[in-house]
Structure 1
Amino acid sequence: MRKLLMSVLWMLFAGATFAQQKDVLLFSYFKGNGEDGLHLAWSEDGYNWKSLRGDSSFLKPTAGKDKLMRDPCIIQGPDGLFHMVWTVSWHEKTIGYASSKDLVHWSGQQNVPVMAHENASNCWAPEITYDAKKKQYVIYWATTIPGRFPATDTLGDNNHRMYYVTTKDFKTYTKAQLLYDQGFNVIDATIQPDGKRYLMFLKDETVKPVPQKKLYLVTSNKLTSGYGKPTTPITGNYWAEGPTAIKIGNTWMVYFDKYTQHKYGVVTSTDLVNWKDESDRLSMPKGIRHGTVLKVKREVVDRLQ
C-alpha cells in the first residue's frame, strides 16, 4: 500500500513539474505614445491574454531625444538573453536596444544610429530575427529617405522601404542595407523561419490611388534577400498594422493592430494560404498597441508575476 501511495505521489509531482515547465506565450507592447515604456502580457492558449504587474511599465525609455518606447520587439537568443529593440521617436535616425536575463533587470539602453549616414526621416518598428546559419542577429525596420523612390513618393504616408543591419554582439553593426522593395510603400515587417525558408509578414502602406492598409505574406529561401511580390492580403476589409507571428502546433497565428478600430485582431492558418479571422475570440489588455509575441518557459512568467 505504501509503495502504491508513493508511486501516486511521484506521478502527481512529476505532472506538476511538467506543467510548470510548459512553454507559454509572452507579448511585449506599448500604450499611448510609448512614453511610459515596456508592457508585457502572457497567455497559455494564444487567445486569452493577461497583462503582467497590473499593466505597469517594466522599463522606462531613456534612448533617443524623444525618449519613447514604441513597437518593442523581444527575442530570446541562443545566449539565453532577451534582446529588445524599439522605436525611439517618430522622426529620429536611430533605434533603441537593451538586453535582460529575466525581463526585469535591464542593461543600459543604446541609441543605435542605424540610418545616421542617410538623409532619413525616421526609423520605425524595428524587429530582430536570429540567423542561426551565420550566428548573428538581423535587425530590420522601415525608413523613409526623401526622393529615394520617386515613383511612390506621393502614393503613401511617407515613402517607406525595409532596411537591415546585422550584429553578433550588439556593439558593432554593419552598414544598413535595403531588405525589401517591391515598388510600394511598406512598413511593419516581421520575419519568422519556417523550415528551410523564411516568412515575412508586412503592411502595404499605399494610400493613393486606393488605400491598401492590409497585411501580406511574402517568402524567401534567404533571410535578408529574395522576398517577392505579395499575393492576396491575409487580413480583411479593415485597416491593419503591426503584425507579429508565431506557430502553435500546426497553426500559424498572426496578431495585429486594428488601429482605426482601437482593438487587436488575429488571423490563423495551417497552410499559409487560407486565413481565418478569429479576432472575436481574442482578449487583449485594454489600450494595447503594436508589439511582438514569443514563446518562453513558464518559469519566466512566474517570475514576472
Structure 2
Amino acid sequence: MYYLAAMKKIGLLILLFAQLTLVTAQSNRSVYLFSYFKGNGEDGLHLAWSSDGLKWASLKNDSSFLKPTAGKDKLMRDPCVIRGADGLFHMVWTVSWSERTIGYASSKDLIHWSEQQNVPVMEHEPTAINCWAPEIFYDEASKQYMIYWATTIPGRFPKGDTASDKNHRIYYVTTKDFKTYSQAAVLYDQGFNVIDATIQMNGNQYVMFLKDETRYPPQKNLRTATSTTLTGGYSAPSKPITGNYWAEGPTVLKKGNQWIVYFDKYRDHKYGAVTSTDLVHWTEISDLLEMPKGIRHGTVVTITKQELDKLLKEK
C-alpha cells in the first residue's frame, strides 16, 4: 500500500516536472523582432515581430516605443538593436541628416529605455557632414562593441562619382561600456561611395553587407565584402545581390543554413528580401514578405517568446 502511494506520488512529480519543462521551453522559444522607423523618424522606435521571418506584425498598434530626444533634429532613423553580452538590448540610430553624432540607449525589455545619449563620434572631424545608419557588433574576442556608420568628409577621398558630392566611407569606434569610445577610424574604403553596412559572422569570417551608393553610373544596389578581421581588411565588393531596382538599408537574419537579407526598396515604397545558403547565389523572395505599412530601415534581432508576450501587452 505504502509502495503504491509512493509510486503514485513520484509519478505525479514526474508529470508536474514535465509540464513545467514544457512551459519553460515554450516561454523561451525564439521569435524574431524587427526594429524600424517610419516617415522621417520623428516619432521614434517601431517594432514588429515574426515567427517565420516572412510575415511580420507591428507591435503596439504600430505606435512608437521610444520618442527621440538626442541630437538637434530629434530624429530616430535606422534603429539598430542587438542583444549585448550583458543581456541588455543596445540600440544606436541616426539622429539627423547633418550632424556628426549618433544616438545610443539601452533597455532590459525593449519597453523601458535608458537616458538617450548623443555620442559625438565624428566631432573631431569639423568638415564631416553626417553620420548615417550606425550599427553595433559585439566582438567576443576583444569583449567590446564596435559601432560603425557612414560619413562623408568633403575632399577626404578622390571623387570617383562625378554625379555626387558625397564620398561616404564606413567608419567605426569601439567601446566596452558605452561611456568611453576609441577615436573613429575608417572601416571600409574600396574607392566608391558606400553606406548602410551591416556585419554578420559566417564561421571564422566576417561578412559585410553594404549599399553601393554610386550615383553615376547608377548602382544603388546591395553587395557583400568579407574579412578575417572585424575592424578592417574587407574585400572588394561582390557582384550585386539585389535585382533591377534601387535598394538600401540591409539587415540580415540567419535561419539554420539560410541567409535572409531584408532591405528597403525605397523608390518602390516597399520592402524586399533575398535569400541564399552560400552567400553567392541569391534568390528573390520579396513577394513572400508581409511587412508593416511604411516600414523603413532597421534591424532584426532574436528574442524569446516570454519577451514577446510582454511587448504584446503594450497598447
Please state which band the TM-score falls in when normalised by the shorter chain.
Answer: over 0.9
Does structure 2 conserve the Cα–Cα contact (< 8 Å) formed by 1:157 and 1:207?
no
Superposed CA deviations along residues 103-131 of structure 1, whole A, max 9, x for unmatched, are 11111110011111111000000000001
Q: Does residue 1:173 correspond to 2:155, yes or no?
A: no
1:18 deviates by 1.8
Matched, 1:190 2:198: yes
Contact kept, 8 Å, 1:156 with 1:205, in 2: the verdict is no
Aligned to 2:22: 15
For the Cα contact (< 8 Å) 2:159–2:167, is it kept in 1?
no
Q: Please give the alpha-carbon distance, in whole angstroms, between the structure 2 residues aligned to 1:261 and 1:128.
A: 28
Kept after mapping to 1: 8 A contact 2:36/2:299 = yes
Runs of 4+ in 1 over 4 A off after TM superposition: 1-13
| Deviation for aligned residue 1:158 | 1.8
What amino acid sits opposite 2:179 in the alignment? K
- How far 1:16 sits from its partner (Å)? 4.1
Aligned residue pairs: how many? 304
Task: Please tell me whether residue 142 in structure 1 is matched to residue 150 in structure 2.
Answer: yes
Contact 2:161/2:215 (8 A) holds in 1:
no
Are 2:172 and 1:164 aligned?
A: yes
Alpha-carbon deviations, 1:187-213, whole Å to 9, x = none?
0000011121101000000011x1000
Of residues 212, 215, 218, the one that matches 1:211 is 218
Q: Matches of 2:299 and 2:209 in 1, distance apart?
A: 12
- 1:38 paired residue number: 45
Aligned to 2:70, which of 63, 69, 94? 63
Which residue of 54, 70, 93 corresponds with 1:86?
Answer: 93
Provide the residue aligned with 1:131 in structure 2.
139
User: Which structure has the bigger radius of gyration?
Assistant: 2
- Identity in percent: 69
Cα distance change of structure 1 residues 277 and 153 upon mapping to structure 2, 3 Å threshold? closer
Root mean square deviation, CA, Å? 1.7
Gaps of 5+ in 2: 1-7
Q: CA deviation at 1:99?
A: 0.6
**8 Å contact 2:57–2:291 — kept in the other structure?**
yes
- In structure 1, C-alpha distance between the alignment counterparts of 2:273 and 2:179, rounded to whole Å: 35
Matched, 1:200 2:208: yes
How far apart, in 2, do the equivalents of 1:298 and 1:276 lie?
29
Q: How does the TM-score come out when normalised to structure 2?
A: 0.92
Within the alignment, does 1:108 sit opposite 2:133 as a pair? Answer: no
Q: Is the 8 A contact 1:146 1:153 kept in 2?
A: no
Aligned to 2:5: none
1:11 and 1:100 mapped to 2: Cα distance? 33
- In the TM superposition, residue 14 of structure 1 has moved relative to its aligned partner by 3.7
User: 1:94 and 1:141 mapped to 2: Cα distance?
Assistant: 10
SS at match of 1:150: coil
Is the contact between residue 157 and residue 205 of structure 1 (CA under 8 Å) also seen in structure 2?
A: no
Q: What SS does the corresponding residue of 2:159 show, helix, strand or coil?
A: helix
Query: What is the CA deviation profile of residues 167-188 of structure 1, one whole-angstrom value per residue up to 9, with x for unaligned ones?
Result: 0000001100000000110000
Structure 1 residue aligned with 2:233: 226
Counterpart residue number, 2:4 = none
Q: Does 1:49 align with 2:61?
A: no
